[in-house]
Structure 1
């Protein structure tokens, strides 16, 4: 997924990952617990409110009951090092970046197929039917974001099929060498949207 891509890009000397702030608690991913100031800066709702009021966030969103935001200080730290800032945030956060800095390179990653995406969901949640509410919420968000990214020409949609090739494509977008979404990405997008509709209908029955 995107975490693997971000980890690989962090090895490139010109890139530096922005660490976002969030009020959600650390969680376990594939047996590994998230570490504060590495995965996110984990903060309380009161701390988030104190940062919002004096405009210490470049962008901040309330998602599924929690605040996610990127601080001005994070950008300044990366600018001081003369590196390329990268982050993985939701589509609304990306649009806020684009409004502030229109030459931002926006990349939307897709799994190679609906079946592979379902496998990734099962790895995270186990039996999907045991987490109906969470899965429906996640799929509903994915449907909105996927439709939005495919309609917005500022996004380059990249299929995450082969890790090495995906990293090369992402590097190409980040450096301005690739500026369009492939026909394959459009086809997989249609497949994913059909899967989402079917899965929501099944889980909501």
Structure 2
């Protein structure tokens, strides 16, 4: 998708987008592609207690913290939402998100189902987008093809994915990830749409 010069300025005025979907559906890939094309779309970097995967950097994909540090963030109410997933905890730091929204700038949250539900309760103005796989078989292929996790973790992620897929109707809209570029275009259109 090519844009006219100057057309990339703030494509999502004052809009909070929550992107969620089952593990392995390609949320991170879509977000990375979107931000390469539109770097002014700001992604909140979550904190997590899980260990970095090969190639991941602290502060880029996640802020990697210890269980004790995560407990402290929860105790001090510094997380907008947090959830446990596949044996690890994930959360969204509150301060940077609120600062961006107060300034009228676009915010994108890429979070798990539990976190998305918490955001719906605390920030009902957010637009909730569900990223779905083309099929269950394709999701299984993506999850097992990663090769970054042991079989037990993969099976646990597949069980959770069934629950996550069943929650699709809770979202405002669904995008099917058949093409990363198409999803990016659709996501950007949603972010640019006027609020109703």
Q: TM-score range by the shorter chain?
A: 0.7 to 0.9
Write out per-residue CA displacement over residues 16-35 of structure 1, whole angstroms, 9 at most, x where no aligned residue.
Answer: 0000001111012xxxx210
**Aligned residue in 2 for 1:118:** 140
Kindly indicate whether residue 166 of structure 2 is the aligned counterpart of residue 144 of structure 1.
no
- Any gaps of 5 or more consecutive residues in structure 1? 180-205
**Aligned residue in 2 for 1:134:** 153
- Distance (whole Å) between structure 2 residues aligned to residue 121 and residue 37 of structure 1: 24
Larger Rg: 1
TM-score normalised to structure 1 length:
0.73
Matched position secondary structure for 1:37: coil
**Aligned residue in 1 for 2:8:** none
- Distance (whole Å) between structure 1 residues aligned to residue 34 and residue 104 of structure 2: 16
Asked if 2 retains the 8 angstrom alpha-carbon contact of 1:19 and 1:74, the reply is no
Q: Which has the higher helix share?
A: 1
TM-score normalised to structure 2 length:
0.76
Shift of 1:54: 1.6
Residue of 135, 159, 178 corresponding to 1:161: 178
Count of equivalent residues: 169
Residue of 48, 51, 54 corresponding to 2:76: 54
- Any gaps of 5 or more consecutive residues in structure 2? 1-25
Matches within 5 A, 1:1-205: 1-10=26-35, 11-28=37-54, 33-79=55-101, 82-125=104-147, 131=151, 133-149=152-168, 151-152=169-170, 154-176=171-193
Shift of 1:14: 4.2
**Aligned residue in 1 for 2:15:** none
Write out per-residue CA displacement over residues 97-149 of structure 1, whole angstroms, 9 at most, x where no aligned residue.
Answer: 111111211111122233432331232138x9x71x22321111111111012
- Distance (whole Å) between structure 2 residues aligned to residue 66 and residue 134 of structure 1: 11
Supply the RMSD in Å over aligned alpha carbons. 2.3
Higher RCO (CA < 8 A, seq sep 6+): 2
Shift of 1:81: 5.7
Asked if 2 retains the 8 angstrom alpha-carbon contact of 1:23 and 1:44, the reply is yes
